[in-house]
């Protein structure tokens, strides 16, 4: 099968090159001044105790919730879209489908045979990491991801590694990294604290080879979402939530890590791991209370938005947001240009309606760019369904190429080519303990 590498010329395996300074990953350019920058940011926060926080916030929407969204940053992937499209158009069916997948992978510290087999059979473009992947500590995870990239060198692009690193109880590392406070605690300190936390988290994640953070939560904790989200939300006020989430996303971006805004457009009190929630919001309330925080956070130039496993009858009375053409079109109409990522199609909220493979097909056909699927049997089902649908026309090739091109463009924007350079990876891991030490006390 024809393969197209994303690098015009790649070093011979076993002969790592020393890249010029401009090609180093963004975290490397940030590491030295990071502690000073974070300290200044927190000092600014302390000097302006009322700025950006949730003090005095109520569950009612802010009167500013419907103000025009702030000016968006230039699309970070724009310079790479033509190149990405050209590559996507050359891919065979197996690689084209693979670039649309974010899969769970076995392994802790070293790459097991099952993970190597998964790379061969599913040919995934991205992986999602869980707590068991990080059980041996951050340095072991960094080595694991290096082995993963080396084993995946035959794929048309490096693997995009993603992890949940929100803060509070939602962070996969038990130790060895800077612990992030709950989003609600950061929100009480204001935007400067949220951005500083994003910078610290981003610099540490990217040093390990993780280029996508499945964070922040953008929804407010009010509006019937409090029991599900709790302290994962920055604020009970929609306007504050969007501003604070955008600050966290900006901090991640400054360290070379893409943010994933979640869960668009909102949630309900029911945890989607337990069943399919319904968000009963008329279009006016939807825009002012639920979509407004995301619109504000889009200005930070996030890499992706994660769709919520939720029914939204005011927009689509038939399909959940995950595979609703109307909902995804509404997201694009709001100006979002990044990756549209599903939540795990192996979750109960999705499986109640469709098998994992059919859910993945419906989502990509509706406009999603990446499908998350965590379980091994479900992964095989999704791969088989998407390949068959591409072959028989149920999944139009143009839609698959469009999604793949968007995924590749963001890989270029995040400088993932550096993840295939062993010398760069080793240098990052060698300096990682000092990087973490430099962050001590900065989020207290």
Average model confidence (pLDDT) across the chain: 86
pLDDT-derived band at 356, boundaries 50, 70, 90: very high
Active site residue 75: no
User: C-alpha distances in angstroms, 139 versus 14, 116, 296, 430?
Assistant: 21, 20, 35, 9
Tell me what the mean pLDDT of segment 397-422 comes to: 98
- Secondary structure letter of residue 179 according to DSSP: P
pLDDT given at position 45: 43
Tell me what the mean pLDDT of segment 18-44 comes to: 42
pLDDT given at position 160: 98
Q: Which helix (H) or strand (E) holds 115?
A: helix 113-122
pLDDT-derived band at 225, boundaries 50, 70, 90: low
Q: Which helix (H) or strand (E) holds 259?
A: strand 258-264
Pick from 35-39, 55-59, 378-382: least confident: 55-59
pLDDT of residue 348 exceeding 80, the answer is yes
Pick from 73-87, 223-237, 258-272: least confident: 223-237
Tell me what the mean pLDDT of segment 355-364 comes to: 98
Q: What is the DSSP string of 312-325?
A: BTTTBSSS-GGG-H
Taking phi over 0 as left and psi of -120 to 50 as alpha, with beta for the rest, 299 belongs to alpha
Pick from 25-34, 141-150, 329-338: least confident: 25-34
pLDDT given at position 40: 42
pLDDT given at position 227: 63
pLDDT given at position 410: 98
pLDDT-derived band at 337, boundaries 50, 70, 90: very high
Return the closest-CA partner of residue 204 out of 31, 22, 415: 31
Return the closest-CA partner of residue 253 out of 9, 427, 30: 30
Return the closest-CA partner of residue 238 out of 258, 214, 265: 265
Q: What is the DSSP string of 143-162?
A: HHHHHHHHHTTTSSS--EEE
End-to-end CA distance of the chain: 53
Q: Which residue has the higher pLDDT, 399 or 27?
A: 399
Pick from 129-138, 261-270, 331-340, 360-369: least confident: 261-270
pLDDT of residue 43 exceeding 70, the answer is no
Tell me what the mean pLDDT of segment 327-351 comes to: 96
As a whole number of angstroms, the distance between CA 205 and CA 222 comes to: 30
Tell me what the mean pLDDT of segment 25-39 comes to: 44
Q: Which residues contact 5 (CB under 8 A, 6 or more apart)?
A: 156
Q: Model's pTM, two decimal places?
A: 0.84
pLDDT of residue 344 exceeding 60, the answer is yes
Q: Tens digits of per-residue pLDDT, 150-206?
A: 999 999 999 999 999 999 989 999 999 999 999 999 999 999 999 999 999 999 999
pLDDT given at position 223: 59
As a whole number of angstroms, the distance between CA 188 and CA 52 comes to: 8
Query: 119 with 155: CB under 8 angstroms?
Result: yes
Per-domain boundaries in the chain: 24-49+80-437
CATH superfamily ID and name for 24-49+80-437: Glycoside hydrolase, family 3, N-terminal domain (3.20.20.300)
- Considering the candidates 95, 237, 316, 343, report the single residue annotated as catalytic: 343
As a whole number of angstroms, the distance between CA 259 and CA 399 comes to: 24
pLDDT of residue 408 exceeding 80, the answer is yes
pLDDT given at position 3: 37
Return the closest-CA partner of residue 405 out of 8, 80, 1: 80
pLDDT-derived band at 234, boundaries 50, 70, 90: very high
Active site residue 164: no
pLDDT of residue 16 exceeding 50, the answer is no
Return the closest-CA partner of residue 437 out of 27, 31, 40, 30: 31
Structure tokens at 52: 């950006």
pLDDT given at position 268: 80
pLDDT given at position 55: 31
């Amino acid at each position: 099968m024809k393969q197209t590498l994303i690098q015009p010329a790649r070093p011979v395996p076993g002969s790592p090159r020393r890249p010029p300074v401009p090609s180093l990953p963004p975290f490397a350019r940030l590491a030295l001044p990071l502690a000073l920058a974070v300290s200044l940011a927190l000092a600014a926060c302390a000097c302006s105790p009322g700025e950006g926080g949730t003090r005095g916030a109520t569950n009612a929407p802010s009167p500013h919730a419907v103000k025009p969204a702030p000016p968006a940053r230039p699309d970070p992937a724009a310079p790479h879209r033509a190149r990405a499209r050209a590559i996507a158009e050359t891919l065979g069916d197996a690689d084209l489908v693979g670039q649309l997948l974010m899969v769970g992978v076995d392994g802790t510290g070293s790459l097991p045979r099952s993970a190597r087999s998964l790379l061969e059979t599913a040919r995934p473009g991205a992986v999602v990491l869980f707590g068991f992947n990080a059980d041996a500590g951050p340095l072991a995870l960094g080595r694991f991801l290096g082995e993963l990239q080396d084993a995946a060198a035959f794929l048309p692009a490096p693997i995009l590694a993603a992890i949940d690193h929100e803060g509070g109880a939602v962070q996969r590392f038990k130790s060895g990294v800077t612990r992030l406070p709950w989003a609600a605690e950061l929100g009480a300190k204001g935007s400067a604290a949220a951005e500083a936390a994003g910078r610290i988290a981003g610099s540490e994640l990217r040093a390990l080879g993780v280029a996508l953070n499945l964070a922040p939560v953008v929804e407010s904790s009010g509006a019937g979402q409090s029991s599900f989200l709790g302290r994962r939300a920055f604020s009970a006020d929609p306007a504050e939530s969007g501003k604070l989430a955008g600050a966290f996303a900006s901090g991640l971006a400054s360290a070379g890590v893409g943010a994933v805004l979640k869960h668009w457009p909102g949630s309900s009190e029911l945890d989607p791991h337990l069943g399919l929630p319904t968000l009963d919001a008329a279009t006016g309330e939807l825009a002012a209370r639920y979509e407004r925080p995301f619109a504000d956070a889009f200005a930070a130039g996030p890499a992706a938005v994660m769709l919520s496993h939720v029914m939204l009858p005011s927009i689509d009375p038939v399909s959940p947001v995950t595979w609703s053409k109307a909902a995804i079109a509404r997201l694009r109409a709001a100006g979002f240009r990044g990756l549209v990522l599903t939540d795990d199609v192996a979750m109960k909220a999705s499986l109640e309606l469709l098998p994992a493979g059919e859910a993945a097909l419906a989502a990509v056909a509706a406009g999603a760019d990446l499908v998350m699927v965590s379980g091994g049997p479900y992964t095989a089902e999704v791969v088989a369904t998407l390949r068959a649908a591409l072959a028989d026309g149920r999944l139009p090739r143009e839609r698959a190429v469009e999604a793949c091109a968007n995924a590749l463009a963001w890989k270029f924007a995040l400088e993932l080519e550096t993840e295939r350079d062993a010398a760069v990876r080793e240098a990052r891991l060698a300096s990682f303990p000092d990087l973490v030490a430099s962050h001590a006390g900065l989020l207290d």
